[in-house]
């Protein structure tokens, strides 16, 4: 680790984090969950919330792609995403869903510095974010796409939006 200039999981846990949490709303694939754990580690995310049918560590399939990030990233399970989103709002987080809806804002038009703390919600690979969150969310964020497909894998979408939030808020 030292020769790669990497910190230990213990050092990661106590270092200052970016004021961003990530909420996984019923993610089916454990490989996707593990990959998002790894992304949260890479960008010093405060916490990862696993909701609904999202699998939790310890889990062999999650570990395959997390590569140890389940040991460094703080996480919590919440059965229902709606009360969690309401609690995060009460705790001062702007709740932003990563979703294509009529009112969504293009990622490049979102100023994450307008918010003190941000909760990014990414949804199920088939159904997206639970529609019950629409009235609770401060905004829906959409990643512009120019090809024949109109969606990205949840890990890619999460990574793009997490990077943009961290780029604006911490760099």
* Share of the chain residues as helix, strand and coil, in percent rounded to the nearest 5: 40, 25, 35
User: Rounded to whole angstroms, how far apart are CA atoms 60 and 33?
Assistant: 12
Residue 3 has a pLDDT of 63
Residue 171 has a pLDDT of 78
Rg (CA), the chain: 15
Q: What is the mean pLDDT of each run of 10 residues along the chain (171 residues)?
A: 77 95 98 98 98 98 97 98 98 98 96 98 96 96 95 97 97 78
Residue 123 has a pLDDT of 97
User: Rounded to whole angstroms, how far apart are CA atoms 152 and 71?
Assistant: 27
C-alpha closest to that of 77 among 99, 97, 57, 98: 57
Q: Where are the alpha helices (DSSP H) in 1-109?
A: 9-14, 30-42, 60-66, 69-72, 81-90
36 neighbors 48 (Cβ within 8 angstroms): yes
> Does the bond joining 125 to the residue before it have cis omega, within 30 degrees of 0?
no
* Domains by residue range for the chain, with CATH: 2-170 (3.40.1280.10)
Provide DSSP, 51-62. ETT---SS-HHH
User: Rounded to whole angstroms, how far apart are CA atoms 158 and 156?
Assistant: 5
Residue 2 has a pLDDT of 57
pTM recorded for the entire structure: 0.96
39 neighbors 68 (Cβ within 8 angstroms): no
């Amino acid at each position: 680790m030292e020769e790669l200039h990497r910190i230990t999981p213990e050092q990661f846990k106590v270092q200052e984090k970016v004021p961003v949490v990530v909420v996984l709303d019923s993610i089916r694939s454990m490989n996707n969950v593990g990959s998002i754990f790894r992304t949260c580690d890479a960008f010093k995310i405060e916490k990862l919330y696993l909701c609904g049918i999202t699998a939790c560590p310890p889990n062999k399939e999650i570990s395959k792609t997390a590569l140890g990030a389940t040991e460094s990233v703080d996480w919590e399970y919440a059965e229902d995403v709606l009360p969690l989103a309401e609690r995060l709002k009460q705790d001062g987080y702007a709740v932003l869903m990563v979703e294509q809806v009529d009112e969504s804002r293009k990622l490049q038009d979102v100023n994450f510095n307008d918010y003190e703390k941000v909760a990014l919600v990414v949804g199920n690979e088939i159904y997206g974010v639970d529609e019950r969150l629409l009235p609770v969310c401060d905004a829906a964020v959409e990643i512009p796409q120019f090809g024949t497909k109109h969606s990205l894998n949840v890990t890619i979408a999460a990574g793009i939006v997490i990077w943009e939030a961290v780029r604006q808020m911490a760099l």
